[in-house]
Amino acid sequence: MPWWWRASPWVVKTRAKSTYVERQESGTGLSIRHPWKRVVAAMLLLGLNSLVHLVNPVAMSRAPVSIPVYGTAFNFLCRPTLLDDTLGTVTIRVSLAVLTIVLGGIFSRAVVFPLLRRYLSMFSSGHAELGRVESIKMSGGLVASSHRTVHAFANGGRPYTIQVYIGSTSQGSWTVMLCLMPLILSVVATIFNLFVPATLHVTSVLPVRYVDLYPAVRAYVLIWNGLVLFCTWDVMLQDHIRCDTVFDNWMFTFRWHVWRHQWVRISCFWLVVATLVAYAAVGLPPVHAALTQRFLDHVSTDLYFNESWRAVFSGAVVMLDVVILMQDWDFPTAASPSHVFIPGFASNVLSIRTHRFQLAFTCKWIVATLIMVMMPLDVWTFVQQLNYTPTEYGQLVVASTLQVVSMTNTTALDALACGPLCYRHPLPVDADVVATLGRFFSWPIEDKFPAVCLVAYVVFLCIRMVVNEDSRFVVSSQMQGVKQAMYRRQLDSATLPPHAVLDLVRLADIKRYYWLRRHSDDICVGLSLFGLVMMLLQLRCIWQVQVMFATETYPSNMVSTPGQTYALLIFISTLLLVFELVRRFRLTVDILKLRQKLAPTTTMWRHPRIRAQVAVELIVNMAIVPPFVTGMFVVNEYQMRASTCPPPLVREGADRCYLVLQYPYETLGMIMFLRLYWLVRLVRNHSGFYGQRVDFIGSLNNVSTDSPLWHFRAIFYHHPVFAFLTCTILTWVATAVGVSVMERPLPSPLDSEVTAMWMVIVTMATVGYGDFVPRTMAGRVITVVGGIVGGVIVISMLTSLFMGSLQTTRGEDKVLHVVRYKRWQRRRLDASVNLIAAAWKLFKLRRRSSSKCPLDATAHRRLYECMQHVRELRLGVVTEGEDTVGLVRQWHRESIEPILAQTNAQRNKTVDELEHKIHQIRDLAHVIHEIRSSGRK
CA distance 779 to 633: 17
**Amino acid 796: pLDDT:** 77
Closest CA to 565 of 321, 313, 387, 741: 313
pLDDT of 142 strictly over 50? no
CA distance 767 to 753: 20
Query: Is residue 76 within 8 Å of 98, Cβ to Cβ?
Result: no
Q: Taking the mean position of all CA atoms in its chain, how far away is CA 253?
A: 37
Q: What is the mean pLDDT of residues 213-228?
A: 92
Radius of gyration of the chain from Cα atoms?
A: 41
**Amino acid 936: pLDDT:** 65
Look over the chain and give the mean of its residue pLDDT values, rounded to a whole number.
Answer: 79
Single-letter amino acid, residue 72: T
Q: What is the pLDDT of residues 502-516, one digit of tens each?
A: 777 787 788 888 888
Neighbours of 620 (CB within 10 A): 16
Q: What is the mean pLDDT of residues 613-638?
A: 89
Q: What is the mean pLDDT of residues 36-41?
A: 90
Give the DSSP H/E element, type plus range, for residue 652.
strand 649-652
pLDDT band at 693 (very low <50, low <70, confident <90, very high): confident
Dihedral angle computed from the Cα positions of residues 517, 523, 526 and 532, in that order, rounded to the nearest 10 degrees: -90
pLDDT of 183 strictly over 60? yes
Strands 205-209 and 141-145: unpaired
Q: CA separation (Å) from 174 to 100, 108, 147, 171, 826?
A: 16, 9, 21, 8, 85
Q: CA separation (Å) from 888 to 302, 797, 880, 884?
A: 89, 40, 15, 6
pLDDT of 350 strictly over 80? no
* Residue percentage of the chain with pLDDT more than 90: 17
Q: Taking the mean position of all CA atoms in its chain, how far away is CA 82?
A: 51
Cis peptide bond N-terminal to 376, omega within 30: no
Strands 11-14 and 395-397: unpaired
Question: DSSP code of 421?
Answer: S
Taking the CA of residue 555 as centre, how many other CA atoms within 13 Å lie in the half-sphere pointing to its CB? 19
Q: Taking the mean position of all CA atoms in its chain, how far away is CA 217?
A: 35
**Amino acid 882: pLDDT:** 52
Single-letter amino acid, residue 374: M
**Amino acid 652: pLDDT:** 78
Give the DSSP H/E element, type plus range, for residue 639.
strand 632-641
List, in sequence order, every residue forming a beta bridge with 357; answer none if it has no partner.
Answer: 354
CA distance 483 to 504: 12
Q: CA separation (Å) from 122 to 326, 558, 691?
A: 11, 44, 30
pLDDT band at 228 (very low <50, low <70, confident <90, very high): very high
Neighbours of 838 (CB within 10 A): 19
**Amino acid 224: pLDDT:** 92
DSSP assignments along 439-454, one per residue:
E-----GGGGHHHHHH
**Amino acid 477: pLDDT:** 33
Dihedral angle computed from the Cα positions of residues 538, 540, 543 and 544, in that order, rounded to the nearest 10 degrees: -110
Q: What is the mean pLDDT of residues 849-859?
A: 65
The per-residue b/e assignment along 463-495, b for 16 or more CB within 10 angstroms, e otherwise, is eebeebbbbbbbbbbbbbeeebeebeeeeeeee
Closest CA to 41 of 322, 343, 451, 375: 322
**Amino acid 910: pLDDT:** 86
Query: Residue 760 phi/psi, 5° resolution?
Result: -70, -40
**Amino acid 479: pLDDT:** 41
Single-letter amino acid, residue 503: D
Please tell me the pTM assigned to this model: 0.77
Q: What is the mean pLDDT of residues 866-894?
A: 70
Q: What is the pLDDT of residues 894-908, one digit of tens each?
A: 777 888 888 888 888
CA distance 328 to 33: 8
**Amino acid 96: pLDDT:** 93
696 by DSSP, 3-state: which?
helix
**Amino acid 135: pLDDT:** 40
pLDDT band at 354 (very low <50, low <70, confident <90, very high): low
Single-letter amino acid, residue 584: R
List, in sequence order, every residue forming a beta bridge with 657; answer none if it has no partner.
Answer: 640, 651
**Range from 332-346, 478-492, 765-779 carrying the lowest mean pLDDT:** 478-492
**Amino acid 641: pLDDT:** 83
Q: What is the pLDDT of residues 273-305, one digit of tens each?
A: 999 999 999 999 999 999 989 988 888 888 888
Query: Is residue 588 within 8 Å of 517, Cβ to Cβ?
Result: yes
List, in sequence order, every residue forming a beta bridge with 407; answer none if it has no partner.
Answer: 433
Closest CA to 82 of 259, 188, 252, 202: 202
**Amino acid 316: pLDDT:** 94
Taking the CA of residue 3 as centre, how many other CA atoms within 13 Å lie in the half-sphere pointing to its CB? 16
Query: Is residue 534 within 8 Å of 675, Cβ to Cβ?
Result: no
Q: CA separation (Å) from 668 to 296, 528, 542, 567, 624?
A: 36, 16, 13, 12, 8
pLDDT of 812 strictly over 90? no
Q: CA separation (Å) from 622 to 528, 630, 857, 880?
A: 10, 18, 92, 64
Q: Taking the mean position of all CA atoms in its chain, how far away is CA 551?
A: 42
**Amino acid 347: pLDDT:** 81
Domain ranges of the chain: 69-139+163-203, 502-629, 810-875, 887-937
Q: How far apart are the first and last CA of the chain?
A: 103
**Amino acid 615: pLDDT:** 94
Q: What is the pLDDT of residues 367-396, one digit of tens each?
A: 888 888 888 899 999 999 998 888 888 888
**Amino acid 100: pLDDT:** 93
CA distance 373 to 370: 5
